[in-house]
Structure 1
């Protein structure tokens, strides 16, 4: 077995044709970070049955992805991120039963949700961000009826951001992400990084993740990094309460959609959540107090909704700035917003002041006549001054004539 790693050079032109030899099978092909153009060679998917890693990330490849994948596919990692590949996602990719990472973000694929990828039991990373996928995220009817069916059961990062997905989210979509759920003892066995084993080599998986309002590259993806990013689509309806079952989630981004209704209280069950973004939706009602109990939450954005009521108080909520809540949300008040932020302080201060003077008391009468007298005196004096000034001015005018 051998590998070809020519990443991050200045290679240009099309990928040359080369036969995969039986005596020296190609297992790793890394041509990422170059200036390669043209089509993805069909022989890489049909003739090279021993290929485990195909990394063509960050080139200028275009055209359609060949739909000619062999039945004996051994691919574990396919990274085409940041090219210009178009057309449909080839259905023969479902033959790659060992596939654990698929990243086709930043291309021009036009297709519906690849529901057929759910049958790949090893798939951990699925990145479809910024393509032209569209339509609803459907779930096979048999999966919904059979609670023991395995569907996207191993996925730990699913990124559908920046597409044209629409409609309601099926509740069972979140129920099927079993790798994001802690076991009954509250312990998950994740003490390694995601890698593709090719012979004696371990090829580390690299992925870009949007979290805490940053888009960062994770060079070594830890197996306990759990991300659901459905932002910048046209999803509508209610946020399924089943998302609360994903107790091992670290990042949830549902921003820039058309979700309506209330924020599910079940989000308070995400005991390891670090980044939560629900901004730019149509959410209403109050912010659940359960969110204030999330001690791991480091970044929150609920802005540009139609939320109301008092912002919950909590140790984590006190660390967020007004930008986490302002924008829309006209009925929202409380710290850190200026609206009624110091209401408690003002109330306590007013209680310590001396009681006001009762209406109709002698003190009221004295002060009233005092102010009336002073006002009358000042007004009378001001009138005399004006008359004198006016008389002098008239006398000067007569003398000039």
Structure 2
């Protein structure tokens, strides 16, 4: 027997010790059951052919056995979602072909297992929701986590800042196209990390390293719920494959870099609950994000927020421009139009009176009197010139 699948059932009880007598199994999948007890000591060495060991989402307690021998063929170890305690077993250094190590959602307590960086085939490292603590260290070895595509350190008790050199040698995250399909484990399950290049880190302080902008293959970057300060690096605009960016719940300040509008694949953006300020950049994917992406940043303004920026002016309409021209000349087209209308109405009334009364004498007298006075004024002027 090479494959043993009993996943997604309701099996209870412990793993039978008889399994240690099986030497040909390549894939052992006991996930998504209600199995309990401790993990047998033989689990790592009962079969030299074992490639996949999946015990996730059960009720196992105790520690992970320290019995992974040299020369084993393990590529996937998944202990996610149990009640395991203790530290990461050092015998994992014997798993030279290990590609996936998922220890998430347990109760393990240890410092960051930096020595796992020497496993040159490791692509997925999930430590989320445990009790890991301490600092991340800088390492400059060329092979250090060089094939890592997914790193999830969220919901632990790590402290300190994010060391720039920690990310420098993550070449699988740095080089676009570096991670080809043939390099991925064929048995990774239909989990959330199957096709992603992901970095999730929480509980750190300090600034976001500029070097993160060199992780060009990243699809998801989640640095939320840290105590990160300073500006958002403009270099994050170089992460052109990025689909999700979450920097929420930090103390980041300054403006949102316009370079982020270059992220044309970005579908999720969360910059809420920081101290960002200034105008929200416009263009490309930024036209699709709602105000929820920026909530809790009292200094931000512009679309999609209801708060206009202080130097924003609504576009002037033609009526505004016309009103401005009136203010310069003292009167405008409205005054002229009123005078024209009044004059027309008066003329029509006067014409009607003339036609209906047959040239009334009082009107002709007014006209003749005006003409007579005008002639007299002109004659007096001529007499004065002669004298």
TM-score range, shorter chain: 0.7 to 0.9
* Alpha-carbon separation, structure 1, partners of 2:116 and 2:266: 31
How much has 1:50 moved relative to structure 2? 2.6
Q: Matched residue of 1:207: which SS?
A: coil
Alignment partner, residue 191 of structure 2: 207
Choose 1 or 2 for highest CA Rg. 2
Q: 2:218 aligns with which of 249, 257, 261?
A: 249
1:367 match: none
Give distance in 2, aligned partners of 1:346 and 1:52.
Answer: 65
More helix by share: 2
How far did 1:191 drift? 3.5
1:87-138 deviations in Å (ceiling 9; x for gaps): 1111111111110001111111111111010000001111111111111112
Shift of 1:272: 0.8
Matched residue pairs, number? 330
Separation in 2, partners of 1:313, 1:264 = 18
| TM-score (norm. length: structure 1) | 0.77
1:159-186: CA deviation from partner (whole Å, max 9, x where unpaired)? 1111111111110122111011236xxx
Partners of 2:27 and 2:52 within 8 A in 1: yes
- Which residue is 1:113 aligned to? 112
CA RMSD of aligned residues (A): 2.4
Equivalence for 2:52? 53
Query: Which residue pairs with 2:342 in the alignment?
Result: none
Aligned match of 1:190 in 175, 180, 188?
180
- The structure where strand makes up a greater share of residues is 1
Question: Counterpart of 2:200?
Answer: 229
Contact 2:213 2:238 in 1 (8 A): yes
Query: Residues of 2 paired with 1:188 and 1:102: CA distance?
Result: 20
SS at match of 1:51: coil
1:84, 1:313 → 2: CA distance?
Answer: 47
Aligned to 1:88: 87
State the distance in 1 between where 2:322 and 2:105 align: 64
TM-score, length of structure 2 as denominator length? 0.79
Q: Secondary structure at the match of 2:26?
A: strand
Distance change in 2, residues 1:164/1:290 (3 Å) = same
Equivalent in 225, 238, 243 of residue 207 of structure 2: 238
2:10 maps to which residue? 10
- Segments of structure 2 that go 5 or more residues without pairing to the other structure are 332-387
Return closer, same or farther for 1:121/1:37 CA change in 2, 3 Å cut-off: same
